[in-house]
Chain A
């Protein structure tokens, strides 16, 4: 990818960080992102419904739909690219309402997710599916913070440096895929 014509945003994200983003923009994300897939989303939503403490602070948070490969010795993580976001559609609106600001994945989202993005303020980034060896190199550190027993599906706190993504659904609800 070209290095120069891209913006960089750093987490946690505030309304002003995402307000100006437009569908189709290429962005670098730096800072903390949390990995979570279907199994972790199911658990988080169950905990939220019961009023229990969540595995991380949702305010301004970025979730990356990804289940990494195990790290080789001396590396923080293995290959880690996006999984299909549609499987999280059922869970995302309530998490966005709870403060989640950005999601990174691949593929279409439901109308409910787009509506929640517009209503509560959020953004959906698409990463390039399958470019996982390259994205693994953007991860500075990784640590399992919840649901360790889920293996690759556990929630991990990643510190990333310039993770390349594209704005797929912007704050206004414009959709790159349409």
Chain B
């Protein structure tokens, strides 16, 4: 049995909230640089150049890459032999968010009630997903999510007969309708299968897959590559000003589903799709 003090989790969430918001992950940074070599539009190249410069400034000054420092999504992978000591886990995580957003000079973008819309002024509560695994592994991922891209995401319950064509059409339609709003070049997170909420969660998790990595299932990997080409042929381009770099990556995750259903969820992530992780080994 491994014992983890929740105070340690608070400190981790604080640090990861700041890091995720100020340091662009290497895979996305390299993806921007790589696409700069191939982008066909002059304006598109200037936008990509500006985004790289922006990431450099953010990291050097530990300033947020983007002013929308998001709603804080936290993924926990918890080995069933792990025991927590201290505060209630959820409170410990929210305390970490509170401290990170204050100390990191991050924007507080959360309202307490979706209808009354009064800001909580500390970016809490976080959205927390718990996943239990065998053993004593403990991993925490902080993935602040901006809403320019979140708002352009979508979910559809397709009929099984619509098959791969139906899936492709829905993904292309979603990216096309989003246009400039999700701050392209985007990361396209796709969840296929499960139930409605399972598909949505898979599409959110798909945003954590590094640019350049593919689904281990060859047919899904092929679909990812094909969709990336088709999306980049839409012409939306960097910042939506036109060009050949509309997405850096299409990441698909799948799960078993019901005989009568084919849920598909598309979660769009912008060019600052953020995630910082840490594993506690000791």
- Chain A positions within 8 Å of B, measured between CB atoms, are 1-2, 24, 26, 39, 66-72, 78-81, 83-84, 86, 106-108, 126, 128-134, 136-137, 150-153, 164, 166, 176-177
Chain B residues near A153 (CB, 8 Å)?
119
What class of interface size applies to chain B in its complex with A?
35 or more
CB pair B270 A130 closer than 8 Å = yes
Chain B residues near A134 (CB, 8 Å)?
50, 53-54, 57
Partner of A106, one of B55, B117, B239: B239
CB pair B107 A152 closer than 8 Å = yes
Those 7 A-B pairs whose CB atoms lie nearest each other, nearest first: A129-B183, A133-B58, A107-B181, A132-B67, A134-B54, A131-B54, A79-B64
Q: A107-B181, A130-B270 are in contact. Are A68 and B43 (CB under 8 A)?
A: no
Partner of A128, one of B47, B105, B242: B47
Chain B residues near A70 (CB, 8 Å)?
105-107
> Smallest distance from the beta carbon of A144 to chain B beta carbons, Å?
14
Partner of A1, one of B49, B67, B106: B49
CB pair A133 B69 closer than 8 Å = no
Q: A107-B179, A166-B241 are in contact. Are A84 and B151 (CB under 8 A)?
A: yes
Chain B residues near A166 (CB, 8 Å)?
43, 241
Assembled-state Cα–Cα distance A54/B233 (Å): 45
- Which parts of B16-71 form the interface with A (CB within 8 Å)? 43, 46-47, 49-51, 53-55, 57-58, 61, 63-69
CB pair B105 A72 closer than 8 Å = yes
Assembled-state Cα–Cα distance A176/B236 (Å): 11
Q: A84-B181, A177-B240 are in contact. Are A130 and B109 (CB under 8 A)?
A: no
CB pair A132 B181 closer than 8 Å = no
- Which parts of B176-197 form the interface with A (CB within 8 Å)? 179-181, 183
Assembled-state Cα–Cα distance A106/B66 (Å): 13
Q: A86-B181, A128-B47 are in contact. Are A69 and B67 (CB under 8 A)?
A: yes
Residue on A with the closest CB to B48?
Answer: A128
B121 at the binding interface (Cβ < 8 Å): yes
- Chain B positions within 8 Å of A, measured between CB atoms, are 43, 46-47, 49-51, 53-55, 57-58, 61, 63-69, 105-109, 117, 119, 121, 148, 151, 179-181, 183, 239-242, 270-272
Q: A106-B148, A107-B240 are in contact. Are A133 and B50 (CB under 8 A)?
A: no
> Smallest distance from the beta carbon of A143 to chain B beta carbons, Å?
17
Chain B residues near A150 (CB, 8 Å)?
119
Chain A residues near B180 (CB, 8 Å)?
106-108, 126, 129, 177
CB pair A39 B117 closer than 8 Å = yes
Chain B residues near A83 (CB, 8 Å)?
68, 148
Chain B residues near A152 (CB, 8 Å)?
107-109, 119
Assembled-state Cα–Cα distance A131/B270 (Å): 12
Extra contacts besides A130-B271, A133-B58 (19): CB < 8 Å: A1-B46, A68-B67, A68-B107, A72-B105, A79-B66, A84-B148, A107-B181, A107-B240, A126-B180, A126-B239, A129-B239, A130-B183, A132-B68, A134-B57, A136-B63, A150-B119, A152-B119, A153-B119, A177-B180
Chain B residues near A137 (CB, 8 Å)?
57
Chain A residues near B49 (CB, 8 Å)?
1
Chain B residues near A1 (CB, 8 Å)?
46, 49-50
Q: A126-B180, A134-B50 are in contact. Are A78 and B239 (CB under 8 A)?
A: no
Assembled-state Cα–Cα distance A49/B145 (Å): 36
Chain B residues near A128 (CB, 8 Å)?
47, 50-51, 54, 239
- A sample of 26 cross-chain residue pairs with beta-carbon separation below 8 angstroms, ordered by A number, consists of A1-B46, A24-B43, A70-B107, A72-B63, A78-B63, A78-B64, A79-B63, A79-B66, A83-B68, A84-B148, A86-B181, A106-B239, A126-B180, A126-B240, A128-B54, A129-B66, A129-B239, A130-B66, A130-B270, A130-B272, A131-B54, A132-B64, A133-B66, A134-B50, A134-B54, A176-B241
CB pair A164 B50 closer than 8 Å = yes
CB pair B51 A130 closer than 8 Å = yes
CB pair B181 A106 closer than 8 Å = yes
> Smallest distance from the beta carbon of A59 to chain B beta carbons, Å?
28
CB pair A2 B46 closer than 8 Å = yes
Assembled-state Cα–Cα distance A143/B138 (Å): 44
Q: A106-B239, A130-B270, A151-B121 are in contact. Are A81 and B50 (CB under 8 A)?
A: no
